[in-house]
Amino acid sequence: MTREPVQARAQRRRDSLLDAAQRLLAREGFAAINTNAVAREASAAIGTVYDYFPNKAALLAALLERYRARLRAALLTALGRDGADADADNAALELDAIVERGVRAFADFYRREPGYAQLWLGSQLSAPLREAGASWGHEFAELLAPLIRERARDPRTRRTISKRHAQRVALALVHAVSAVVSLALTKGARERDALIDESVSLAQAYLARRPKPRRV
């Protein structure tokens, strides 16, 4: 069993171990992450690491959760939302601008968090990463789906697409943009920036088709 950090000091210790793991990821890549290496990087006893993370899988799970929370916060800020439903008028009038902010916030997160980039841009494709990618895709699609529903609303009849259809459109968009941005981050600065611009255009053009209501 691992220790749950109920006290502030224990939480700080756990955070310091995750900070060490992030530094290792950024500096040496995914293969460098193991409990012994994290103990050395954090100047901690190996027993302390085991108190919180009994193995590499537990470390990876904690890192993924930390990155997920940070990325979600960055995207919520970019989308101008605090977790509540999007304002309908703003969603209809500013979707292109909102989508551009979201795409660029995603790309900036890669650059701001080099450990995160090492997780997703490396050659490894472990089961936890595949599962996290699928889960995050659905989570971030749910943030975008209300905006897509509003864009698809017929101004004459007020009819729109179903929530399920909007989430499907959003999911396709999230994974398409993620693929292009991931590719961009493997390139030099000039080509990287050009590909990120293309990912913005891709997202805007895809949504401009105004999905039509249909049976699902």
At 20-34, the pLDDT tens digits run 999 999 999 888 889
**Confidence (pTM):** 0.82
In the CATH scheme, what is the code of domain 64-208?
Answer: 1.10.357
pLDDT at 80: 78
Mean pLDDT of 131-158: 86
* Confidence class for position 83, pLDDT limits 50, 70, 90: very low
pLDDT at 130: 85
- CATH top-level class of 8-54: mainly alpha
Nearest to 54, CA basis, from 15, 1, 10: 1
Where do the CATH 1.10.357 domains begin and end in the chain? 64-208
Q: Are 196 and 188 in contact (CB under 8 A)?
A: no
Q: Are 148 and 212 in contact (CB under 8 A)?
A: no
Q: Cα angle at 184 between 146 and 175, to 5 degrees?
A: 30
Q: Are 72 and 140 in contact (CB under 8 A)?
A: yes
Per-residue pLDDT for 123 more than 70?
no
Residue bearing the bigger pLDDT, 149 or 158: 149
Per-residue pLDDT for 152 more than 60?
yes
CA atoms within 13 A on the CB side of 102: 26
